[in-house]
Structure 1
Amino acid sequence: MSQELENRFEEFAKRVRNFCLELKFDTINREYIGQLIRSSGSVGANYIEASDSLGKADELMKLKISRREAKESIYWLKLLLTYDDKILEESRLSLIDEALQIKKILSTIINKLLL
């Protein structure tokens, strides 16, 4: 597994964390924030676990979980309320874009392993 990708996934989780710290922590966002923090951190955690896999099937499973967590992060990012704060909205869109890129990267890795 690539150290560069591991670092990128870690940076994504940190950016999500910092973004969430800026959000209004109300009844609605509270639930979404918790889900987003978990899913964004799971992207990198499962990628790291894939590198210590017990075989190709285990590696594929961990990578697929990592990709699924990236997709889930996109979902939670879309649901979060930014209350028309332009800076928060720009950050949210940037994080959605990064999660989409991560999902594509993981899909490419998975497809290569399936060949």
Structure 2
Amino acid sequence: MKNEMLQRTKQFAIDCWHFCSKVPKSREFNAYVNQLLKCSSSVGANYRSSQRAKSTADFINKLKIVEEEADESMYWLEIFEQILPEYADEIKGLIKEANEILAITVVSINTIRKNQNK
């Protein structure tokens, strides 16, 4: 599962980058593109960082960042879905992947916390 998540989170960043490369260039679009690029790449970077956590608390903290960044990615993708309907299918796929990464991360956090309390 660990290696799969490392690959999925990296691929999510790459897929968002490919989408962003298609977005028209303007001051307005560029602001949103920059936001999506930052948070989508942060998902993978922080998941990778979590694998080198120094403690359980550090691991949970890094996964919480993954959770926040995946959710933020979904927000920007939802904005793009409304302003660029011609890319709706591609965006829906990205939202689905972000949502799956988010769900896996939340389950992981909850499992770790539950195991800590035993």
TM-score, normalised relative to structure 1? 0.93
Higher relative contact order (CA 8 A, sep 6+): 1
SS at match of 1:61: helix
Note the alpha carbon deviations across 1:11-37, whole angstroms, 9 max, x for none.
Answer: 111000000101112222111100100
> Where does structure 2 lack aligned partners over 5 or more consecutive residues?
none
- 2:106 — aligned with what? 107
Name the structure 1 match of 2:43. 43
Write out aligned runs for 1:1-115 (5 A): 2-80=2-80, 81-82=83-84, 84-85=85-86, 88-115=87-114
**Alpha-carbon shift at residue 40 of structure 1 (Å):** 0.4
After TM superposition, the score normalised by the length of structure 2 is 0.90
- How far off is 1:65 after superposition? 0.3
Unpaired segments of 5 or more residues in structure 1? none
Superposition CA RMSD, Å: 1.1
User: Identity over the aligned pairs, expressed in percent?
Assistant: 34
Q: How many residues align?
A: 112
Distance 1:98 1:29 in 2: 22
Shift >2 Å, 4+ stretches: none
